[in-house]
Structure 1
């Protein structure tokens, strides 16, 4: 993707899903004018070891994975001008309900699930430092080469003329050392071709986070309820910048009594399209510039 690398296409085409969150894009916009930044830049965070350069061009990344249906809508805008970025390539990838990443199934989920006995109460836990390098993680350690050909819960799609992109997936699970999260990248200045997306550069690498109430609700639903991995809360996580929506905390909508019916998540990503933020394996900075 970066530096002229091409993405192989698997079904480019089809209309983008209609977005239901058109008003959110302006909810955090300041009254700044002139040359001042009009929107808070979304925090850059680590890529983590399990990124696979997008070889699945699709909106529905679920495949046959079990879990609570999740519709994720992102709007990508230039944080300086608030103008939407159209035809940008957006990657998402995350673990399964049991904390396993496709392409890295041999790494397991960091100690829980996968046949271990289910927890006896609400999942909780205190992290013991950075995620272990031998299991899934979102922290340091550099990129790990895939160990299998599975690609569930991964995909790339393009933003529409209003900067929106929508994915269909499942609510992520958890693994030892990390809170529940989704990884995201935004690529600009490339070209969409019959082969996929070529050239350009990565202007944003970040993670999307879920509040504790939603995670605790999901933990009561199978197969999440069988995930015995020690869970790190949002406040305990070493990657979350602790700055709310600017740090990737998603807006969520769901039936609080029946979360199993599905969750709708959305967020505006304020990026600097002229900058390159393709990967970092150092702890993120919580400072995001605002107008």
Structure 2
């Protein structure tokens, strides 16, 4: 007799209790996907936890209203271009000289950006997977397969690799990925800290291809991604995040120099927990000529 799982809302059958991680992943799926997984038993759960795409994709409701695939984006609403923002003072993209250009380094095209390419040191922090769906803004919100994103952000202590004291020799939390056939780009990283004067965020640049991103090509669009306050507060209770909680308590989105003119289309939908890690999703409307 097997113990019941926490989640069996769409099947009369009992399933194995595989813990909170399984529950969180299952909760992010649509009812149809949950039924499919349950009907496959342990094999289905294993495939889901491994991130296999054929299992299914989360519904917009599970991602805070942000469509998870281009098909859903088309069916729901066509997103406007995400606001163009500054790359900030720590881009590491060669614009400040060849000695500050991570994009020419071997291995920068990678899904896991937690470890420095040069030193091999790994950034500490709560794990977070960021999934961005790139769609053509306006029109039918067609996906943008093959387009590339260069993503970068600060570490748990609010430091930027390549720039900040104590992190100058590092190049972690920077990397490039190409969008798949559905326009989806995924990075495994850590939850960014909150430094004085800025709301917790990610930076990113969109390029027409990986070759453009790593070959000093033209940037199609530059923007930033915000993170929800309640999730930030839960993360910043972790001692690894130093003064992040205090810095956050002195900020608001309406006061932030980047997000105060409107952040709704830049706010990621986040699910998960400090114990199991987080998943952040956002559909990014890209203006394409």
Fold similarity call, TM over 0.5: yes
Q: Considering only CA atoms, is the larger Rg found in Structure 1 or Structure 2?
A: 2
Which residue pairs with 2:230 in the alignment?
Answer: 213
- Give the deviation of 1:241 after TM superposition: 4.4
Q: Deviations over 1:171-206 (max 9, x none)?
A: 000111111001011001x4649xx84364212100
Q: Which has the higher contact order (CA 8 A, sep 6+)?
A: 1
- Give the deviation of 1:268 after TM superposition: 0.6
Q: 1:17 to 1:86 in 2, by over 3 A?
A: farther
Does the 8 A contact of 1:89 with 1:197 survive in 2? no
Q: Deviations over 1:85-134 (max 9, x none)?
A: 1111101100011100000122x7xxxxxxxxxxxxxxxxxxxxxxxxxx
Q: 1:74 to 1:17 in 2, by over 3 A?
A: farther
Which TM-score applies when normalising by structure 1?
0.64
The answer to whether 1:90 aligns with 2:149 is yes
- Give the deviation of 1:149 after TM superposition: 3.6
Which residue pairs with 1:158 in the alignment?
Answer: 178
Which TM-score applies when normalising by structure 2?
0.64
- Give the deviation of 1:229 after TM superposition: 6.0
In structure 2, distance between residues paired with 1:161 and 1:154: 23
**What secondary structure sits across from 2:219 in the alignment?**
strand
After TM superposition, list the pairs within 5 Å mapping 1:170-189 onto structure 2: 170-188=190-208
**What secondary structure sits across from 2:80 in the alignment?**
coil
- Give the deviation of 1:65 after TM superposition: 1.0
Q: Which runs of 5+ in 2 are unaligned?
A: 1-50, 61-66, 94-102, 116-121
Partner of residue 230 from structure 1, selected from 247, 250, 271: 247
Of Structure 1 and Structure 2, which has the larger fraction of its residues in helix?
2
- Give the deviation of 1:20 after TM superposition: 4.1
Which residue pairs with 1:66 in the alignment?
Answer: 124
